[in-house]
Amino acid sequence: MDSAAREVDEFEALAIRAYLSDAGQVLSETWTPFVTRWSRVRLPNGQIGRSKWKESLKPIERLRCSRNVKVHFYLMFKVGEVRKPQAVVSLYGEHHQQLYNDSSKSYVTMQHLGNSGVRVIDIDSILAAVMLAPDEQYANTYHDGSELNRWYLMEKPGLKLMAMMGIGQELVPEV
């Protein structure tokens, strides 16, 4: 957890303002969000969700090359009278439908939307941590200008089985 509330970057600020406005909060035009960030959260399935905020501080030799963290950071908002855990995330576009269908719905490749895709979401909408790795195979078949910004998705084996069996935990921010 961050030691103090801090200003966020302009895209994160836009996402926070949009989220709060949609939740009915009246904000002045000059309001700037300062937030206390959380770096990790324990998901209901027992996984630890990590954030870009802390992962980006690690030296390059300690990073996994395939790691692509779409959660900027976790935080707690007071919306009205209710405190709610939230996540500031970067979204990905729609998956490539033809490849998805041709692979019997097992191969998911998509583009990262960058700063235009920064949003605030309710933390309980995060179902699992998944791997998003650079999709180097896409360029072998398609040359549509998106081949340098393609990521393929892989879920941890057994996640769906664990969920069906009711194995999981309460959502708790990691301390």
Mean pLDDT by 10 residues, the chain (175 residues): 92 94 88 92 83 77 59 87 90 91 90 92 86 87 88 70 56 43
CA 15 to CA 121: how far, in whole Å? 10
Global pTM reads 0.78
Whether residue 111 lies inside any domain: the answer is: yes
Q: What is the pLDDT of residue 125?
A: 87
Beta bridge partners of 108: 153
Whether residue 162 lies inside any domain: the answer is: yes
- Which residues form the domain of 112? 6-173
Whether residue 1 lies inside any domain: the answer is: no
Number of domains forming the structure of the chain: 1
Whether residue 100 lies inside any domain: the answer is: yes
Q: 18 to each of 73, 108, 119, 121, 150, how far by Cα in Å?
A: 17, 29, 8, 11, 27
Whether residue 123 lies inside any domain: the answer is: yes
Q: What is the pLDDT of residue 12?
A: 95
- Region of 104 on the Ramachandran plot (φ > 0 left; ψ -120 to 50 alpha; else beta): left
